[in-house]
Amino acid sequence: MNNKTISRMPKNELEYLSPYFLGAKAENSDTLESLLLEFVKEHVAWRKNFSPQDDPLIKPEQKASENYKQAIGRLKSELHALTGKLKKTTPTHNPRYFGKMASDLMLPALLAQLVTTFYNPNNSADDSAEITIKMELAVGKQFAELFGFNTDPEVKPCAWGHLTSGGSDANYESLWNFRAVKYYPVALVEALKLMELKLSFIHPRLRDPLKYSLWELINLSVDDVLELREILFRQIESEYGLNTLKDYSRLVEDNRLETLGPSQFFAEHWKLHQPVVLVPATAYAFWKKAMRLLGFGSASLIKVPLTHSMRLDEVELERILEKLHTQNIPVLAVIGVLGTLDFGTIDPIHELVKIRQKFSSQGLDFYLHVDASCAGYMKTLFIDEQGKALTRDAVAEQFSYFPSEAVYQAFMALSSVDSVTIAPHSLGYLPHGIGGFIARNREIAKLLNHSEKNLLENNDRLDLSQLSRFILDGAKPGTNAAAAFITHKVLPLNADHFGRVIKHSILSSEYFYNRIMKMRAVLKSDVHLCIPFEPDTNLVAIAINPVGNRSLTVMNNFIDHLYEKLAHQTEESVKQNEFFGSTTYLELHHFTEQEKTNLFKSLDLDREEATTHAEDKVHILRHTLNNPWFAAESEGVNYLDRYCDFLEKIIVEATKKHNQ
């Protein structure tokens, strides 16, 4: 970090943000109420004017009945009970909340979702949701363009994306896609052999598929697999006719892993190992669940160690890949995380791309997926209004620290990966229940739900409007698509629009970082306070140990005691909390010996005691600077300073109690 400091948050940014959120004090309630009422009335008029010749179905005498009145009374009573309970939940919309990646909601998203709910579109079927399916595909295209993928269907590969119920489901979908393409060439060749088809195969790069070994077949890139499929289908139809192509296509499906199941497929191809998936040790727990769901087994999930900065260690990744290669164990995918949930760190995506290139040239190919659930929207900071990438200097001139060279290169490398997950409900400020999956090559979708009818009648063209055929979800609300689409129309995904929202979050983080550094100096006689790794994004973690304490156990208890002042008990009034925060921990077994030594030295902990500590964890306070109103002032003091004053006070109180 350099020594440049931020003394005051720029007020013009708060001015820019003001129309786009309901506000911590519901300052835009008049806008919300008037617009919502306007569009509710519009919907009511639409219902009334549809088939106006029909008589009303709910009669005045029914509404005047005692039964009707009692039913409406029960409804009102239960709704009051519901909101009474909801008011006990943590107020994540308020700048007094510093915990996880939750915040005030985008007003365009909130209104679009509420308004669309009255029409209740089901985005699994284009006959009842034509409009919102188009919106969903448009949002997918917006995300693809944000990440640097090609979206021109005349140029291959062409990307596509769609919405899911959250980031977890989108990540499941990445492995589902990868599994479909990884073992597809084996079925292609098996069907050729069974039908004894001889083709005049000529290609500048790909060989006759019958001349590939099994190992080579499962180590083709996504693009090569899909191109091989296209060539074979085209040549079989050209040389043998449409009926033969139909038989061949059916036989390919019969021999796929998805048809046979893993047990039978690997029994028939006994020379092949089950694949593994590599994730950073910071990856969220749903990857283990995903491996079980797809039948690979959680034992096939390999966690890659971390550097001291809590990023995936590319040296360790190469070491693991070398070992797997020598053992002929296929790698389905390597996962990079763009904004880890606990630490906000950015994995070196650019290095993963280089490593993939290196091993691919040696005969070990794998697919790259980036879980950008938490930080995907930060890419808006790097894109101008024309969709061109900004230089690092152009981005950095707005900030004190952001972005580091490694962070900038990681964002720039997104265009070279195979798929990306994003979660608009986190840094996109949209309601919960909205994730996104984006694939660089949309032709994979043809492998997800085979249709012989499409092959014969539609010339194998991809009709993505039949959305439910190509995704994991079944029935799904079109309201989410409307929320994302309208938000991106109001605030396009570039530095001059949505990026200004993200910019404010980064500025808040930098201000907070500097404020914590000042607090460290003020409290140096009371505690050893450190930021254990430099922030990559908008998350700042703090480790605190009382002066004179050498025990990791005691330090963790000290942090837990501080967290009690920041935690909320659901059964208690939220008004009892002055501020809300969250806690997490550093797992020591992910650190090298030198990194452990450096961390313990900064906290003045006993190295030997920590080594034998049963938990093997260092508890820390986690602060996610998501809220747009942290820098807003009340009585001349912003919420970042208010929180730091509060934190300083409870640290001093806890230290006195510790020393008694």
Reported as a pLDDT band with limits 50, 70 and 90, residue 7 is: very low
Q: Which domain holds residue 234?
A: 184-255
Three-class SS of 436-453: EEEECCHHHHHHCCCCHH
For residue range 163-185, what is the model confidence (pLDDT) as tens digits?
999 888 999 999 999 999 999 99
**Burial environment of residue 410 by CB neighbours within 10 A (0 to 12, 13 to 18, 19 or more):** buried
Average pLDDT over residues 556-575: 85
**231 domain-assigned:** yes
For residue range 469-491, what is the model confidence (pLDDT) as tens digits?
899 888 889 999 999 999 999 99
Beta carbons of 54 and 141 less than 8 angstroms apart: no
Give me the pLDDT at residue 11, please.
64
Phi and psi angles of residue 229, each rounded to the nearest 5 degrees, phi first: -60, -45
Residue 227 structure tokens: 């191109």
**158 domain-assigned:** no
For residue range 105-135, what is the model confidence (pLDDT) as tens digits?
999 999 999 999 999 999 886 677 889 999 9
Average pLDDT over residues 191-204: 89
Give me the pLDDT at residue 89, please.
86
For residue range 580-631, what is the model confidence (pLDDT) as tens digits?
999 999 888 877 788 888 889 999 998 776 666 566 889 999 999 999 999 8
For residue range 383-432, what is the model confidence (pLDDT) as tens digits?
999 999 999 999 999 999 999 999 999 999 999 999 999 999 989 999 99
**205 domain-assigned:** yes
**208 domain-assigned:** yes
| H helix runs in 183-327, sequence order | 184-195, 214-217, 222-240, 242-254, 257-260, 262-268, 286-293, 314-326
- Least confident stretch, 87-96, 264-273, 292-301, 352-361: 87-96
For residue range 430-469, what is the model confidence (pLDDT) as tens digits?
999 899 999 999 999 999 987 766 666 667 788 888 888 8
User: How far is 648 from 654, CA to CA, in rounded Å?
Assistant: 10
**235 domain-assigned:** yes
Into how many domains does the chain fold? 1
Is residue 525 classed as helix, strand or coil in its secondary structure? coil
**215 domain-assigned:** yes
**389 domain-assigned:** no
> Does residue 4 carry a pLDDT above 60?
no
Considering only CA atoms, which of 514, 486, 488 is closest in space to residue 501? 488
> Does residue 647 carry a pLDDT above 50?
yes
**52 domain-assigned:** no
Give me the pLDDT at residue 13, please.
74
pTM: 0.94
Considering only CA atoms, which of 480, 646, 639, 442 is closest in space to residue 106? 480
